[in-house]
């Protein structure tokens, strides 16, 4: 199926469940609320025409500098091995309560990227079997890939966002 | 262990916890796995990663796009051109620019040479783990030749950074093309040599057949990719499924396995060595003439000659060096087929010259949970065979 056909089909079947959809640079993209993501993922995996059996990637994004609501986003990339098409699901996450249900019951491959989201962004993955630090040490404080986590606490000689960073250095809690 | 009334130590359960790594030579880097052993058998395996965490994804958020390219070399350090290509294709998709044909062919040559070098390192270390020392020396001999080719064209043996936004860093020379041609002619006999040592070797068969088996459904569900997925019988190669960088112009086969065991992964990768060599041969034969980078001075540097005569070129040069490429607002993901599987960058641009988010989809990272599942129920001696057959690179696991 082409990207346009995928988006059309999802709009007809699940029009109420998704927030919006688009074809972005040739890729089909749907926007889903965090409370709906598991249902949509189940539908995408089990629908015989869509058949998204392969989870390629899960990414977190922090849009702090762009000042938009909601602040966080989780992005899923799915492939269908049989049908050879792909989709991207973008899920907005609230700053106060970044909670999202796990999809690791559908695709086992989600176990690690979801743990990485917990580690690097501090998202709460509901229903995950082993939610603990993955890449950072167990006792680490803070979530390194959030935008308000400074790149370095030392003063740097050159930076693109020097002032922004120096404010953070003053207010930064001890990392360890 | 508990202390009994008589002051003796008593074992509570009949299992032993064994720590393997991170400094174990057979874990291919700094991978640590905690094995719960029942005698010789592995009950469960728990991986621990992060020992090589370099924070490249975070660092990239403070670097200009051009500065991120050398960092991508360090992710999968056994095939740097693949990472460069994945990054450049993603940024070029955001820029909505297409590179010239010659650049595409040169990119393909570099990527396939890197795939061969990477598979040679895999074969060398994998065979060494299982006990075949000679293969290690043979493979290193041929890999050295590929590294010499890298040095000749880019000046660097491993971290080439040869693929840049809008094309490649410099054109190939006739001498280099002849060197590659010589290597391509020389290489098939050497693959036969490795196969003579291993393919029907009874010790190798005993150590690899029916070990670390992963069925087709499991491999898909656990997000395995690349040769591991293909060894389980899934015909999925992004060079065929989603042709990028002109791969649709090449004729090659996608080798697949049946059983999904270590032996099938070995066969798939050795077959891929031959296919990569075939792709390079075709690329050399059909290499088109023309520019090696886009003629857009907002993306790639103007030619050295024009700098002396054209004011505009000088301004572009200054702007590009001091400010860098500004990428339109948006986000995208382009997957390519690396030596280990699907490599892709998810890049979010806020419209400036610095990426807002760079995320690498690393095949080794995604393969680790599946790999530990394979270890359950196997002998401890096979654990190193399984790790070797997945071909993990810790640089891209920890990022």
Burial class (CB in 10 A: 0-12, 13-18, 19+), B264: buried
For residue B282, is pLDDT > 70? Answer: yes
Q: Which residues of B touch A22 (CB under 8 A)?
A: none
In contact, A57 and A34? CB cutoff 8 Å: no
More confident residue, A162 or B315: B315
A46-81: buried (b, 16+ CB within 10 Å) or exposed (e) per residue?
Answer: eeeebbbbbbbbbbbbbbeeeeeeebbbbbbbbbbb
Give residue B275's pLDDT. Answer: 92
Contact (CB<8Å) A135/B50: yes
CA B181 centroid distance within chain: 23
**Separation of alpha carbons A95 and A168, rounded Å:** 18
User: Cα distance from B229 to chain A (closest Cα, Å)?
Assistant: 11
Residues 6+ apart with CB under 8 A from B280: B108, B109, B112, B113, B116, B180, B184
Question: Which of A67, A134, A139, A152 has the highest number of chain B CBs within 10 A, making it the mutation to test binding with B?
Answer: A134
Over residues B74-101, mean pLDDT: 90
Q: Write out the residues of chain B at the interface with chain A, using a CB-CB cutoff of 8 A.
A: 49-50, 53, 55, 57-59, 61-62, 93-94, 96, 220-224, 234, 236, 241-242, 330-333, 335, 342, 344, 346, 348, 350, 354, 356-357, 359, 361, 365-366, 368-370, 398-399
Give residue B351's pLDDT. Answer: 86
Contact (CB<8Å) A84/B241: yes
The DSSP secondary structure of A92-146, one letter per residue, reads EE-SS--EEE--TTT-GGGHHHHHHHHHHH--EEET-S--S-SSS-TT--S-TTS
Greatest CA separation for chain A: 56
Q: Which residues of B touch A111 (CB under 8 A)?
A: 369
Give residue A145's pLDDT. Answer: 87
Give residue A159's pLDDT. Answer: 56
Give residue A65's pLDDT. Answer: 80
Could you check whether the bond before residue B22 is cis, i.e. omega within 30 degrees of 0?
A: yes
Q: Compute the mean pLDDT over every residue in chain B, rounded to the nearest whole number.
A: 88
Give residue A176's pLDDT. Answer: 37
The DSSP secondary structure of A3-50, one letter per residue, reads HHHHHHHHHHHHTTTEEEEEEETTEEEEEE-TTTHHHHHHHHHH-TTT
Residues 6+ apart with CB under 8 A from B24: none
**Separation of alpha carbons B194 and B119, rounded Å:** 12
Residues 6+ apart with CB under 8 A from B348: A61, B330, B331, B355, B356, B357, B358
Contact (CB<8Å) B49/A135: yes
Residues 6+ apart with CB under 8 A from A154: none
How confident is the model over A119-172, as pLDDT tens digits? 888 888 888 888 888 888 888 778 888 888 877 655 455 556 556 555 655 555
More confident residue, A57 or A14: A57
Over residues B6-26, mean pLDDT: 74
Give residue A152's pLDDT. Answer: 66
Contact (CB<8Å) B365/A27: no
In chain B, the domains with their CATH numbers are 2-47 (no CATH), 49-96+99-293+328-398 (1.10.645.10)
Could you check whether the bond before residue A70 is cis, i.e. omega within 30 degrees of 0?
A: yes
Give residue A164's pLDDT. Answer: 59
Of the candidates A66, A133, A159, the beta carbon closest to that of B350 is on A66
Report the percentage of chain A scoring pLDDT > 90. 11
In contact, B126 and B365? CB cutoff 8 Å: no
Distances (CA, A) of A118 to A101, A113, A156: 12, 9, 28
Contact (CB<8Å) A109/B57: no
- Provide the residue ranges of all domains of chain A, joining segments of one domain with +: 3-138, 146-176
Give residue B267's pLDDT. Answer: 92
Q: Which two tokens stand for residue B48?
A: 């621990």
Q: Compute the mean pLDDT over every residue in chain A, rounded to the nearest whole number.
A: 82
Q: Which residues of A touch B223 (CB under 8 A)?
A: 54-56, 107-110
Over residues A22-51, mean pLDDT: 88
**Separation of alpha carbons B186 and B179, rounded Å:** 11
Residues 6+ apart with CB under 8 A from A160: B62, B354
Give residue B246's pLDDT. Answer: 86
Q: Write out the residues of chain A at the interface with chain B, using a CB-CB cutoff of 8 A.
A: 24-25, 27, 53-57, 59, 61-63, 65-66, 75, 77, 81, 84, 88, 107-113, 133-137, 144-145, 147, 151, 159-161
For residue B71, is pLDDT > 50? Answer: yes
Q: In the structure, what pLDDT confidence band is assigned to residue B119 with cuts at 50, 70 and 90?
A: very high
Give residue B336's pLDDT. Answer: 92
Q: Which residue of A has its CA nearest to B361?
A: A57
What is the assigned CATH class of domain A3-138?
alpha beta
Give residue B352's pLDDT. Answer: 86
Give residue A174's pLDDT. Answer: 45
Q: Which residues of A touch B394 (CB under 8 A)?
A: none
Over residues B208-233, mean pLDDT: 89
Contact (CB<8Å) B335/A56: yes
Q: Which residues of A touch B94 (CB under 8 A)?
A: 25
Of the candidates A77, A108, A147, the beta carbon closest to that of B333 is on A77
Of the candidates A53, A77, A134, the beta carbon closest to that of B50 is on A134
Give residue B146's pLDDT. Answer: 92
Give residue A166's pLDDT. Answer: 57
Distances (CA, A) of B344 to A24, A56, B75, B215, B336: 17, 9, 12, 25, 6
Give residue A5's pLDDT. Answer: 85
The DSSP secondary structure of B302-347, one letter per residue, reads PPHHHHHH-HHHHHHHHHHHHT-PPPPSEEEEEEEE-SSSEEEEEE
Q: How many contacts does A have with B, using Cβ atoms within 8 A?
A: 97
CA B213 centroid distance within chain: 22
Single pTM value for the model: 0.88
Give residue A170's pLDDT. Answer: 54
Q: In the structure, what pLDDT confidence band is assigned to residue A19 with cuts at 50, 70 and 90?
A: confident
Question: Which of B48, B62, B92 has the highest number of chain A CBs within 10 A, making it the mutation to test binding with A?
Answer: B62
**B18-27, B138-147, B369-378: segment of lowest average pLDDT:** B18-27
Tokens 């080798």 label which residue? B255
């Amino acid at each position: 199926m082409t990207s346009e056909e995928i988006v059309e089909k999802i709009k007809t079947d699940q029009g109420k469940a998704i927030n919006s959809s688009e074809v972005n640079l040739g890729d089909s993209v749907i926007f889903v609320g965090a409370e709906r993501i598991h249902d949509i993922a189940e539908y995408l995996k089990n629908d015989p025409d869509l058949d998204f059996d392969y989870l390629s990637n899960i990414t977190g994004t922090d849009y702090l500098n762009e000042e938009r609501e909601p602040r966080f986003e989780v992005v899923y990339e799915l492939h269908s091995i049989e049908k050879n098409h792909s989709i991207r699901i973008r899920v907005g996450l609230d700053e106060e309560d970044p909670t999202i249900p796990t999809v690791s019951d559908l695709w086992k491959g989600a176990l690690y990227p979801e743990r990485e989201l917990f580690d690097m962004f501090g998202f709460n993955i509901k229903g995950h079997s082993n939610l603990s630090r993955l890449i950072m040490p167990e006792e680490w404080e803070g979530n390194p890939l959030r935008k308000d986590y400074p790149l370095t606490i030392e003063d740097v000689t050159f930076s693109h966002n020097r002032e922004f960073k120096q404010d953070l250095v003053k207010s930064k809690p001890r990392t360890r | 262990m508990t202390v009994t009334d008589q002051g003796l130590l008593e074992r509570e359960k009949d299992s032993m916890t064994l720590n393997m790594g991170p400094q174990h030579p057979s874990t291919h880097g700094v991978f640590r796995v905690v094995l719960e052993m029942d005698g010789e058998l592995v009950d469960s395996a728990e991986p621990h990663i992060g020992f090589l965490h370099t924070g490249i994804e975070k660092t990239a958020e403070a670097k200009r796009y051009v500065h991120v390219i050398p960092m991508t070399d360090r992710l999968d350090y056994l095939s740097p051109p693949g990472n460069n290509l994945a990054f450049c294709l993603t940024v070029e998709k955001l820029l909505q620019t297409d590179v010239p044909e010659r650049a595409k062919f040169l990119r393909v040559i570099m990527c396939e040479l890197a795939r061969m070098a990477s598979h040679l390192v895999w074969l060398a270390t994998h065979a060494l783990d299982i006990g075949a020392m000679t293969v290690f020396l043979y493979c290193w001999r041929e890999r050295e030749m590929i590294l010499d080719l890298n040095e000749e064209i880019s000046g660097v043996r491993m971290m080439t950074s040869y693929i840049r936004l809008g094309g490649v860093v410099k054109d190939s020379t006739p001498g280099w093309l002849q060197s590659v041609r010589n290597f391509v002619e020389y290489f098939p006999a050497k693959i036969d040599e490795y196969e003579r040592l291993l393919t029907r070797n009874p010790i190798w068969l005993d150590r690899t057949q029916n070990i670390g088996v992963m069925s087709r459904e499991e491999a898909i569900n656990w997000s395995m990719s690349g040769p591991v997925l293909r060894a389980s019988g899934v015909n999925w190669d992004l060079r065929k499924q989603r042709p990028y960088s002109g791969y649709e112009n090449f004729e090659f086969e996608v080798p697949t396995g049946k059983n999904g065991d270590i032996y099938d992964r070995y066969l798939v990768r050795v077959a891929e060595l031959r296919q990569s060599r075939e792709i390079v041969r075709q690329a050399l034969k059909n290499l088109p003439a023309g520019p090696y980078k886009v003629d857009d001075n907002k993306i790639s540097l103007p030619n050295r000659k024009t700098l002396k005569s054209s004011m505009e070129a000088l301004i572009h040069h200054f702007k590009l060096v001091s400010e860098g490429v500004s990428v339109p607002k948006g986000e995208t993901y382009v997957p390519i087929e690396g030596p280990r599987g699907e490599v892709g960058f998810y890049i979010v641009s806020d419209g400036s010259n610095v990426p807002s988010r760079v995320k690498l989809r690393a095949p080794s990272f995604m393969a680790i949970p599946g790999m530990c599942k394979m270890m359950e129920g196997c002998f401890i001696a096979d654990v190193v065979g399984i790790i070797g057959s997945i071909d993990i690179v810790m640089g891209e696991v920890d990022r």
